[in-house]
Chain A
Amino acid sequence: MNFDLSEEQQLLKDSVDRFVSDNYDLDTRQALSKNDAGFSDTYWQTMAELGWLGVTVPEAHGGFGGNQADTMVLMEAFGKGLVLEPFFASAVLGTRAIVAGASAELQNTLLPKLIAGECRLSLAYAEEQARFDLEDVVTRGTQNGDGFIITGHKSMVQHGGSADYLVVSTRTSGGQQDQQGISLFLVDTKSEGVSIQSFPTVDGQQASEVTFNDVRVSANHMLGDLDNGFGLLQDIAIDGILALAAEAVGAMEILYKDTVAYTQERQQFDQSLSDFQVLQHRMVDMFMEYEQCKSMLYRATLEVVQKGRDAMRIVHALKYMVGKNGTFVGENAVQLHGGMGVTEELRIGHYFKRLLVIDAQFGNSDHHLSCFAG
């Protein structure tokens, strides 16, 4: 039993920590988020050069051959820097779909490009009527000769505007809420009939509404098996939740530490704010909720990596806790910073906003609590 990072993970951590501290001060970050793409292409190339984009790609395909624990190391550091590059959308969600679901031929063409940063992916799964249910899919995939035709609308596709391909969940058979009858396709965003409306999200990132109007996809762009794509979609979501949780833990660490530092500096009533017991206890609560999240992150990640029987339940527990504790830490960080806490000037507000978005991604804390309770 040990919770130490392996030697390789430690090296990975050192390099990503350095990247974040060298490149991600708040001003730079805010400027980048106002780019057209909403992130830095240079940083994206750096991520490719450092091998991060292939962290979970098998070594046979030129990747690092890592698992969710390695992704955790990267995402936790990205959480500390509020990193903008679409690592999560492309290297976590999209890449998992390709590695686990694409044909050998498609993997051979696509994986090298993904690793090299020459191609970006995102996952288009959300639909308005579905709320947080992955299996509630209306977007249709209809067989047509050798290929398929996709028609429908997907929402809140992270970094959809800068993606080259989208992994799209479609209903190829069965009823609207059936797990059976879902198929995943890889759709080129330049295909005829794809229209993408991009917009900023509250956390400084970008998302898109995507409409598919009779979009033709060839059969070898199907990921996983026809009608049996739900399992793959769920696996992608599990990886997504673990990665988001790691990012949230990184963000929570910054929030509680910044709050401790600020209350020590800030003088009121002729003393540091941090000398007030009522504030100390609040900060202890923030610290504890952060540590508990970290424990649950380790537990869930190990459970998934080791394919434990309880993995799905623990992942629900994790996402519940990340939403609840993340909001608690964020709200209290703002509260303890007083007036400064509600300004754009300090970084804590930005971390808070990111945590709010993380809560809503792949199901919020209420959703996962009720899944956990069964």
Chain B
Amino acid sequence: MDVDLSAQDLEFQQEVRDFLASNAHDPKTDYAQWRLNWFDLAKNKGGWDVPKWPVAFGGPGWTPTQHYIWEKETAVAQTPWDLPFGLSMLAPVLMNYGNEEQQQRFLPDIRARKVNWCQGYSEPNAGSDLANLKTKAQLSDDGSYYTVNGTKIWTTLAHIADWIFCLTRTSDSGKKQEGITFLLIPMKQEGIEVKPIITLGGSHSVNMVHFTDVKVPAENRVGDEGKGWGYAKGLLAHERTGLAGISKSLVALDFLRLQAGEVKRGNATLLDDPAYKSKLAELEIDLLATEFTELRSLASAASGAEPGPESSILKLKGTEIQQRIQKLTVEAGGIYSAAWGKQPVGHSFAKGGMSGYLSSRAYTIYGGASEVQKDVVAKNVLGLKKAK
């Protein structure tokens, strides 16, 4: 057992640090231009713009340790914003199940961050029970196109997306997991209506998307008709491991400590308050353990093993930790956390704290609610039967 980085890993870590330091954004220059340029430079490093893509599709072929180093370093450095939908969720499906034409048509634009994708999975009556989805796709008699009717919900960033990858129902016979078809649909067209949903944090990121007689060419179907559930399931596993956010939480916790240190309490600060101090300590300990649980999971992946039982814990523990950090931020703000306008009041960090906390309540709901994750662990790890 050892957790020391090898000489090569240390060299890699330095290379990553150098790259991130020398390509940080200069506030005097245009952000959008810098962003696209940054991905270009990363691409020239040998696939650093698509760390998780396989080598065959231009990825860097890093070891799990290198991925870990990248996560750690990019969590503290300034990197351009990026979205997971095309890059981490759709791309693996296309690589595994798309045909060559689809791969050539969609992957380069995803890689260049030119096209924004959104995910059309959940429906008003298909949340945790995702396979219950009803959005209907009817193949035309000549087999050349599908007509799509139905409603998707909680569609993150549908209002800025160019495309949506969608689970649709093409057949009602058999089990509900059968008869689901994976379609790629352009967003900017007749028959698609995007309605904003404002969440508790007061922000607009999720939407309701209505499809009315939307025509989708059959060539936009990924894989076989009726097999979409199988393609989508693999994608959910990718989504889960990405949602733990351990590296980001480590940075956020440091930040939280600074904030709490600004809050005066008598002659001391909030950091000296026994109750607050104790909650902060418990949070840090849980994070330290979860970070190592992630390392164990990476190490077992590195040795070629299937993801061990420890990986199933990451989404559950990781999202809870993110929520606790948000909660302690709100607590640090005290009464100022109640202010809801654009005007900053009280501590510099108080504005936005409440909104962040309220938004974070979704973390244990999306990507498979915590209760669904526990069902998964019960079945796959403890070997129990599906509960009634």
Contacts and interface: CB of A to CB of B under 8 A. Distances in A.
A327 interface: no
Given A1-B298, A287-B377, A321 B289 contact: yes
A284 B317 contact: no
B299 A2 contact: yes
A317 B283 CA distance: 11
A167 B296 CA distance: 37
A321 B280 CA distance: 14
Contact of B382 (A280, A314, A317, A373): A280
B296 A287 contact: no
Interface in A1-59: 1-6, 9
A260 B384 contact: yes
Contacts of A280: 374-375, 378, 382, 384, 387
A369 interface: yes
A287 B381 contact: yes
Nearest to B282: A369
B37 interface: no
A88 interface: no
Interface stretch (A115-123, A211-219, A290-298, A345-353): A290-298
A295 B296 contact: yes
Contacts of B278: 369-370, 373
A372 B65 CA distance: 28
A75 to B, nearest CB: 15
B285 interface: yes
Interface in B163-219: none
A283 interface: yes
A283 B382 contact: yes
Contact of B303 (A4, A275, A277): A4
B387 A275 contact: yes
Nearest to B381: A287
B292 A296 contact: yes
Contacts of B64: 1
Q: Is the interface of A mostly helix, strand, loop or mixed?
A: helix
B138 interface: no
Most chain A Cβ neighbours within 10 Å, of B64, B292, B302: B292
A299 interface: yes
Contacts of A306: 2-4
A298 B310 CA distance: 13
Nearest to B294: A295
B133 interface: no
B288 A281 contact: no
Interface residues of A, number: 41
A245 B292 CA distance: 16
Nearest to B383: A260
A343 interface: no
B293 interface: yes
Interface string B1-21: 111110001000000000000
Contacts of B317: 288, 292
A198 interface: no
A302 interface: yes
Contacts of B71: none
B302 A2 contact: yes
B105 to A, nearest CB: 39
B342 interface: no
B372 to A, nearest CB: 11
Interface string B298-316: 1110110000011001001
A320 interface: yes
A299 B285 contact: no
Given A284-B377, A295-B290, A276 B281 contact: no
B374 A1 contact: no
A83 B366 CA distance: 45
Interface string B120-163: 00000000000000000000000000000000000000000000
A4 B2 CA distance: 9
A4 B1 CA distance: 5
A296 B293 CA distance: 8
Interface in B311-356: 313, 316-317
A284 B298 contact: no
B371 interface: yes
B295 interface: yes
A315 to B, nearest CB: 12
A177 B271 CA distance: 26
A373 B316 CA distance: 25
Contacts of A9: 1
A340 to B, nearest CB: 19
Contact of A1 (B2, B293, B378): B2
B296 A281 contact: no
A275 B384 CA distance: 7
Given A3-B299, A284-B382, A295 B387 contact: no
Given A1-B298, A2-B1, A275 B286 contact: no
A275 B388 contact: yes
A287 B373 CA distance: 13
B277 interface: yes
A271 B388 CA distance: 10
A292 B65 CA distance: 20
B28 interface: no
A293 B289 contact: yes
A82 B55 CA distance: 49
Interface string B265-290: 00000000000011011101110111
A363 B105 CA distance: 63
A298 B1 contact: yes
A17 B371 CA distance: 35
Most chain B Cβ neighbours within 10 Å, of A6, A276, A317: A317
9 contacts: A4-B299, A275-B387, A277-B387, A280-B374, A280-B375, A281-B371, A295-B310, A302-B1, A370-B281
Interface of A: 1-6, 9, 69, 260, 264, 271-272, 274-277, 280-281, 283-285, 287-288, 291-293, 295-296, 298-299, 301-302, 306, 314, 317, 320-321, 369-370, 372-373
The 6 closest A-B pairs by CB, nearest first: A277-B387, A373-B281, A295-B292, A280-B378, A295-B293, A292-B289
